[in-house]
Structure formats: C-alpha cells, structure tokens
Amino acid sequence: MTAKIICAGLLAVMTLTACGEDDIILPGVREPIRPGNAEVNQALPISFEAPQLNSSWTHRNGDADHMFPQPVFSTSPTLAFAVDIGAGDSKSARITADPVVAGGIVYTLDALSRVTATTTGGAPVWSVELTPPTDSRTDASGGGLAFGGGRLFVTTGFGRLTALDPATGGTFWTQDLDAPGTSAPTVSGDLVYVVSRDSTGWAIDTADGRIRYQLGGIPSVSSFSGGAGPAVTSDLAVFPFPSGEVVGVFPQGGIQRWSQIISGDRVGEAVAAISDISGDPVIDGDRVYVGNFSGRTVALDKATGDRIWTAEEGATGPVWPAGGSLFMVNDLNELIRLDADTGTPIWRVALPDFVDNGGWLRSKRTVFAHYGPIMAGNRLVVASSDGQLRSFDPRSGALMSSIAIPGGAASTPAIANGVLYVVNKDGQLLAFR
C-alpha cells in the first residue's frame, strides 16, 4: 500500500511540474503530415478540343472506353424538369446507376430495381420492375445501365443481367451472374461485359445472353455497393475487381494480356481498408487510368499493363482526361487536376465534406458524395449530394457557378444535346439546360 501511495505522489508531482513548464516551440518550417498536400496550386494553361453536340450518352463517362469528347453544355444552366423514376435512397437501399441516353430517351434505374424510360422532354414512356418472382423488392439494391446494339442492358443487386427492348421495356433475355451485379455493364460489338461482386468477369452475347467467357479475379471481402465496370475498346477489355486487381484481356476471346494490383492506402482514413476499384478504368490512347477508393490512382501502359506512374490520390469515380491533364474527385472529397504525364497534382479544391448531425461521434455525420467531374462547355461539372451542381475552371480550379439540385445528386450526370440529366436521392430524374 505504501509503495502505491509513493508512486501516486510522484506521478502527481511530475504532472504538476509538467503543467508549470513553458511550451517549447521548435524552430523550422512546418510541413503537412499528409503526403501530397504540400504542393502549391497552379493555374497552368490548358487547351482542349471545343465542345461537341452529342445525341447519346450510352455508358458511365459517355462511352464503352469511358473516354468521351467534351459535350456542349450551358455556362448558366437552369432546371428544365424533375420527374419521378421510382424509389430513392433509404437506409437499406441506394441508387448506384447513372442515367444513359439514346434515341431521345433517358433510361434510369431506381434504388429497388425499377427501370424507367423518359423522353428527353420529361414525358414517361414505360417502367418495368426487375425483381425476381421469388424475391422481395427490398431484398437487394444497386445496379447499372448501358445501351448498345439497339438494346438496354441492366445489372441488379439480385445478381442478374437483363437485356431490355428500349422501346417497350420488354425482356429479351436474363442471365444469372451468381452474385450481385451492381456495377454498370459495358457494351461493345456483340458482347456485353460485366463484373460481379464475387470477382468474376463476364463476357455475354448481346443477342441471346449466352456466356462467351468468364474470368476469375482474386476474391475480396471488402467491396461496396456499385463498384467499377469494365472499359472496352476494339483490342482491349479491362476488368476491375473488388480485390484491387485489374486485368486486361483480348475482348473477343478473353485471353489475358496483363494483370495489375492497385494497392496502397490513405493512412489515418477508415476507407484505407477497402481494396475495391472505385475509379472505373478509362482507356485514353495508349494508356489506362484506374483508381481505388483508398488513396491510389495509376496510369498503365495499354499494351503491357506496366505502371507508368502512381498518384497518392484515391478516385471516387472515373477520371476525365483532357488537354494533357486528368481531372478527378479524390477520396478526401477534393477536386484535383493531375499532370497526365507524371501524375503530379497541379491544383486541388476542397469540396463540401460532411454535415454534422449532432454529437461528437463521426458516425453521426453525413458524408457528402460528389459525382464527376465531367468536362462540358469548357468547364468541369460536379453534381453533389449536398444539393449543388457546381462548375469549375479547368485551368485554375476556381468555382465559376453553382445551381441547386433539388434533393441532392445520387448519380454522375449524363449530357446529350446540350442537356444534363442527373438522378437525385429522392428518386427523381432532373434535367438542366
């Protein structure tokens, strides 16, 4: 007992002594503890092709290779219409599909497997429920859309890929994927390519739904709803898997050309434990750009898969290459411009991060999601769940304009004929022109 009293007394004296001392301020330059944030923002010149008037937007980022020419879009957009397309976000269900546009029709997928076709003027065309007869609507959530070969392809959280008649919503065929198919499909030629959440890549005949070939990726226990979909050109199909593995194959036969693991994490962030690919592969010329959710984006050689550079920035969606730069929203909710040759950041702009719902626990904070960016009308456009559609100067990152998105964004926008379409969290399709 005496020893315990002496130790307690010494501890109290040491504590009081420490409290009485002056703080020692060390000399020298203060450096940020987070790597990559020490660079100075630069407003470097940039030149890119003039905006083009496009009539369709068939995939995420516009096309099967996720690389699309800059579309025409107004510098001062206004809300043209808002129409219901089904169930919105809830505690147990999320909208993960971006809208696609073809033939004057906008196709959307709600949080509970309902596909809706709406004219570009906002009039309803048809709506169809894709819940299997043996399941309940609330048993699964998520999925994606793609258009090609005169058909609309839909993946769902029920683990099915369905080919629909774009004019009527009728079903041509359905293929069971044996696991949730929540990432968007990709259509090229006579095949539709899909990645299911059990790390399986699929190439399926668009005509009859028969399996042409399958790829087995490294299994992973860490993934999230949605996920990244394949990118495809005439000579390469890139499959991203939840494990962080990225595999390049010949599109028709599925023979492997190369494989890479996108590894690395953002120290101090909870998402560092997620290995899933979140920045869908983008094929631009002789390069492939792809990023994970936890702090890494890489440039790969298209022919060999060799790594050209690695940026210590995660990607929440596909990058947008333009004018020798890459634009992306990173895992810290920053809009960033990278040098496409080196991966070096040129500028970064903080986007709204979270809203505090009360209390001191971070679990009580709602983290905002930011979708994009898309280069349109010579601006970078980002749709956000905080209820804003923002436009930024690609040269400097300066905010140029902002307009309200009623309900807050739940998807990356699609642009066709100068009109921007985005789905909000309430299950509505909004159009800005």
Check: CB of residue 192 under 8 Å from CB of residue 184.
no
Q: How far is CA 403 from CA 61, 77, 389, 421, 423, in A?
A: 21, 8, 5, 14, 15
Residues of the chain with pLDDT below 70 are 1-39, 220-226, 265-275, 356-365
pLDDT at res. 219: 76
Q: What is the pLDDT of residues 145-158, one digit of tens each?
A: 999 999 999 999 99
Q: If we measure between CA atoms, which residue out of 156, 202, 151, 196 comes closest to residue 178?
A: 196
410 within 8 A of 421, measured Cβ to Cβ = no
Q: What is the pLDDT of residue 218?
A: 80
pLDDT value of position 84: 98
> Given this model, what pLDDT does residue 138 score?
94
Residue with tokens 């971006």: 98
Q: What is the pLDDT of residue 35?
A: 45
Predicted TM-score of the model (pTM): 0.89
Q: Which residues lie below 8 Å from residue 345, measured CB to CB, with a gap of 6+?
A: 36, 39, 311, 313, 336, 337, 338, 339
Q: Are 131 and 112 in contact (CB under 8 A)?
A: yes
pLDDT at 430: 98
The confidence score (pLDDT) of residue 19 equals: 47
- In the prediction, which pLDDT does 294 show? 83
